[in-house]
Chains A and B, each alone.
Chain A
Amino acid sequence: MSVASAEQVGPGTAHDDGWERVCLLRDLLVERGAAALVGGVQVALFRLPDDTVRVVQQRDPYSGANVMSRGIVGTRGGVPTVAGPMYKQVFDLTTGRCLESAGYAPVQGLAPDLATWPAEVRDGVVHVRTRPAPADGAS
């Protein structure tokens, strides 16, 4: 049995320009996250209804587990969000900022907000920058 995508792009296909080809856009379901390895780091990809892709860290700061891709995608006041699947914090998918901590504190050593990675869809292929965006959320 194979659970693999027949057309996976494969890890480690970094290009000199500092971007990495991660997968095809059609490998992603709208509003359902997927995990990926980018530059050896676990990230979570989210395809939004407008077919743009947002990328944040896969590690959930509030549990320390690598699960962010399994959160529920939605909006809050029009801003696209993902809810942490473990303890239900809400994060802004664009900036990574934690909008609601739900009464929890991050596990030791982790920042409350998510790191984000710039991502682009070029000819149906999702490209993610190998380095995260600066911490202020601007890309």
Chain B
Amino acid sequence: MTGPQTDPAAPAPAAPDAPRHLVVVGGGMVAQRLVEALRARDTAGTWRVSLFAEEPRKPYDRVALTSYFSARDAEELTLGDPALWDDPLVTLHRDCAVTSIDRAARTVTDRLGRVHAYDELVLATGSSAAMPPIPGNDLPGVFVYRTIDDVAALRGWVEEKRRTATTDGGWERPVRGAVIGGGLLGLEAAGALKALGAQATVIQFGTHLMDAQIDLGGGEALKRLINGMGIAVRCDTGTQAMKVSRRTGHVGRLDFADGGRLDVDVVVVATGVRPRDELARAAGLAVGERGGAVVDLACRTEDEHVWAVGEVACIEGRCIGLVAPGYAMAEVVADRLLGGEATFPGADTATKLKLQGVDVASFGDAHGRTEGAMELVWADPVAGVYKKLVLSDDARTLLGGVFVGDAAPYASLRPMLGTELPGDPGLFLLPEGSGAGAPSLELPDDATVCSCNNVSAGTIRGAVTEHGCTDVAGVKACTRAGTSCGSCLPLVKKITTTELARAGVEVSNALCEHFDLSRAQLFDAVRVAGLRTFSEIIGRFGRVPEPVTDTGGAVLVRDAGRGCDICKPTIASILASLGSGHILDGEQAALQDTNDHVMANMQKDGTYSVVPRIPGGEITPDGLLVIGQVAKDFGLYTKITGGQRIDMFGARIEQLPHIWRRLVEHGFESGHAYGKSLRTVKSCVGSTWCRFGVQDSVGMAVELELRYRGLRSPHKLKLGVSGCARECAEARGKDVGVIATDKGWNLYVGGNGGFTPRHAQLLAEDLDDEALIRTIDRFLMYYVRTADRLQRTAAWVEDHEGGLDAIRAVILEDSLGIAADLDAAMARHVGDYEDEWRAVLEDPEKLRRFGSFVNAPAEPDPDLAYVTERGQIRPATEDERAALEEARAAGLATVPAGPVVIAGTTLEVRR
């Protein structure tokens, strides 16, 4: 045998325990899964992996390709933990297709001519978009829909066509798009065209849309829904030719077999995929009738060292164009490479269409082809709903299903495939709230809940009972259920909650020991009851620790205690959001969190930092001089913050009013850097100065900051405004990000930096100033009212039932009928705003609270000590303090060499 040792590119002759070499050809989703699974299980490091990807990217989520239109950030589609590619046992060769395989030598050659030896080889080359032999299919303007580059090219083309379509005739007409193919991918492509502002017509050769997955009845319902989205559909239509436009030289018209025609500016072909089996063919491996490298149930080809997974594998006589079976194959090969005996469990061909606003799902024998199968159909043509269950001849065993317009039963029914349904199957099809209610399903442990990651109900239960997970987030992290497409999340949540309850873990959203309510519930309770003091609130809604036993006629005292550092600041925030006067008024003063207490940010030595508001980061030279002079006069350390303003550190509690008196006199106001409230609205310089800016981002940022300043919220709020798509203000890292377009503003929500960075998601596009502000008003007020304590907008959006779509419905379509209320609440906030610091300076009673000692109010804390560094002060370290003590004890007049200790707070630094 010709061993790999003879190959020049091979590693040095392998030591007996050196890792063996696995070569994976292809860099798609299934390849990524294989490497991930192998590295997760191969703890001994017996394999090193080289992965050759044709695309210049890390493996990305092709299923979510359409979201690239809204995300516009290829990185967001990257799959899995990026740390995988830093693993020393994994090498990713991007932009580096493999061009040939030498099975005898056990080597592959890449496009750069380099030869790599392998011990085992896995083909994961996937498939390419099929291009039917229609004349004209090579014209400019004809696209396929398969990779990020395809999508980017399509987007560029549509945007270019929109520009020329507008200017050529002097009048604006929409870009006309057509999609050939009415399957899953075709509908996604049509949705993408619509999202780009183009018209879209879907041309389907078959009798109805998605004919591979759903039956005629479902197809008809689907067509109505698709039409409802403004997408035209032509079924039973063959495309005979794509004709060139003489004027542009681009594709200009489709001619159909029935004589019909359609003028077009862009065509997307989505008629299916073809396995990329060229390498397998060239290497002499057997290929299936319709292509694909033939493998057995172990995913091994006829060559014992060559495997194939995913769409290129012809398994059980066919190639499968879905990701879940591909993942299953990847897991099988990973297991086999480590000596396991796993076999392919059969394809789960369940599908769910991810087209915004349209629910389509099918699973199992959707067409009722099983002998003796019965179909149970529920249809509501008016609402565009069609639901069907396929059952065995005794009407008990579930064989499949089709859901169009309402896929709610899909998540709980799909795992029941092949099992007997409890009760009357018809009940599963009735709409929610019809009174009947579906029987509750108790899934068997081996039922698959997450088919993307092959997680069973039993595994999810085990995450709760054995691994101590106490919420959905924990279960997701532990089992990976719901981490790919997310369609099973409602079911994951349900199983998790049920299991927690069963385990006796109280699924509690209680705030703390004093309140059983969550923050959102408490907010509503306080708002509706009109209570305005903590004593009233805890008296009314507080939890009484133990039931008071009957005391035989004595007066029962209801006593829920006096709160704590959890509920008091929460209620302080709720009262502030409801506009209950100054935060230091009366009893409210005792509720405030550390920083709100004195309206400054406590630092490690007990002194504070002071941040005046600088709206939009715009400040005059005179303003800078004021801040500079104040900092100098009080001996404060200064630093520019991340939010485009200036922080002054080292202010003692008794100095705060004096500092603020100076700042307020010169027109500054509180920056609320201490509050769970609006912090800053960061901006780039925008169209007033920038060569590229398309809107006045600074002006908008100033307006937003002045509007929302002082708004108390469940957590801090940060906003950003960018003047063009270059996004210099990093607005998508903010809770609310505004990005200028040539037509107005795009609004993104739910971003943050910090421990778990999140990119904000698109909420609405091309808003004018007024609509932008109204939309942000409602978003913020809805968040303030319904979020949990210390829950930032990103987590709130994720936890909100129905996610961002549901929030969009509340805000833009007023689905809850509360929009006017939200608007009024924000108007009240804007109208009632007053500068907290100015109000304190005008109130001697509040000012008294800033004394350092109740019996020596102007005496500085004698324990403070500072050293200078880079020309400014900083707190002395323990060692530096010790050195000072020593010097003093030794009776030295001056402190020895080393950092200069400014003992106490009155020496050296001019105050």
Show the binding face of A for B, using Cβ within 8 Å. Answer: 1, 3-5, 8-11, 22-23, 27-32, 34-37, 42, 45, 49, 59-60, 63, 65-67, 70-78, 80-81, 83, 85-86, 88, 90, 108
Contacts of A11 in B (CB 8 A): 853, 855-856, 859
> Which are the 6 A-B pairs with shortest beta-carbon distances?
A65-B606, A83-B565, A74-B564, A85-B594, A75-B561, A72-B565
Q: Does B861 contact A (CB under 8 A)?
A: yes
Contacts of A90 in B (CB 8 A): 564-565
Q: Does B369 contact A (CB under 8 A)?
A: no
Across the interface, name the chain A residue whose C-beta is closest to B595.
A85
Contact with A along B830-862 (1 / 0, CB 8 A): 000000000000000001111111111111010
Given contacts A67-B606, A75-B561, A3 and B545 within 8 Å (CB-CB)? no
- CB of A75 within 8 A of CB of B564, answer yes
- CB of B606 within 8 A of CB of A66, answer yes
- CB of B562 within 8 A of CB of A80, answer yes
Query: Using a CB-CB cutoff of 8 Å, which residues 556-578 of chain B contact chain A?
Result: 559, 561-565, 567-569
**Alpha-carbon gap, A60 to B603, bound state (A):** 13
Q: How far is the CB of B512 from chain A (nearest CB, A)?
A: 9
Across the interface, name the chain B residue whose C-beta is closest to A72.
B565
Size range of the interface on B? Answer: 35 or more
- CB of A22 within 8 A of CB of B590, answer no
Q: Does B289 contact A (CB under 8 A)?
A: no
Partner of A83, one of B564, B587, B856, B863: B564
- CB of A22 within 8 A of CB of B594, answer no
**Alpha-carbon gap, A31 to B587, bound state (A):** 9
**Alpha-carbon gap, A1 to B843, bound state (A):** 11
Number of cross-chain contacts by CB at 8 Å = 133
Given contacts A32-B589, A70-B594, A71-B565, A77 and B854 within 8 Å (CB-CB)? no
Contacts of A85 in B (CB 8 A): 594, 597, 602
Across the interface, name the chain A residue whose C-beta is closest to B572.
A72
- CB of B563 within 8 A of CB of A3, answer no
**Alpha-carbon gap, A10 to B658, bound state (A):** 22
- CB of B563 within 8 A of CB of A75, answer yes
Contacts of B602 in A (CB 8 A): 67, 70, 85-86
Q: Does B246 contact A (CB under 8 A)?
A: no
- CB of A65 within 8 A of CB of B858, answer no
Q: Does B598 contact A (CB under 8 A)?
A: yes
Given contacts A8-B856, A70-B653, 16 further A-B contacts (CB under 8 A): A1-B661, A22-B854, A30-B590, A31-B590, A32-B590, A35-B854, A42-B863, A70-B598, A70-B602, A72-B569, A74-B514, A74-B561, A77-B513, A85-B602, A86-B604, A88-B565
- CB of A73 within 8 A of CB of B590, answer yes
Q: How far is the CB of A115 from chain B (nearest CB, A)?
A: 16
Across the interface, name the chain A residue whose C-beta is closest to B859.
A37
Given contacts A65-B605, A75-B564, A5 and B598 within 8 Å (CB-CB)? no
**Alpha-carbon gap, A8 to B852, bound state (A):** 13
- CB of B606 within 8 A of CB of A4, answer no
Partner of B847, one of A3, A32, A88: A3
Contacts of A83 in B (CB 8 A): 564-565
Contacts of A30 in B (CB 8 A): 587, 590
Q: How far is the CB of A25 from chain B (nearest CB, A)?
A: 11
Pick 12 A–B contacts, CB within 8 A, sort by A.
Answer: A1-B657, A1-B658, A3-B858, A8-B857, A10-B856, A22-B855, A27-B848, A36-B856, A37-B853, A42-B863, A74-B562, A85-B602
Contacts of B605 in A (CB 8 A): 65
- CB of A66 within 8 A of CB of B863, answer yes
Q: How far is the CB of B658 from chain A (nearest CB, A)?
A: 7
**Alpha-carbon gap, A4 to B845, bound state (A):** 10
**Alpha-carbon gap, A80 to B562, bound state (A):** 8
Query: Using a CB-CB cutoff of 8 Å, which residues 859-881 of chain B contact chain A?
Result: 859, 861, 863, 878
Contacts of B850 in A (CB 8 A): 3
Contacts of B657 in A (CB 8 A): 1, 3
Q: Does B335 contact A (CB under 8 A)?
A: no
Contacts of A9 in B (CB 8 A): 855
Q: How far is the CB of B671 from chain A (nearest CB, A)?
A: 20
Contacts of A36 in B (CB 8 A): 853-856
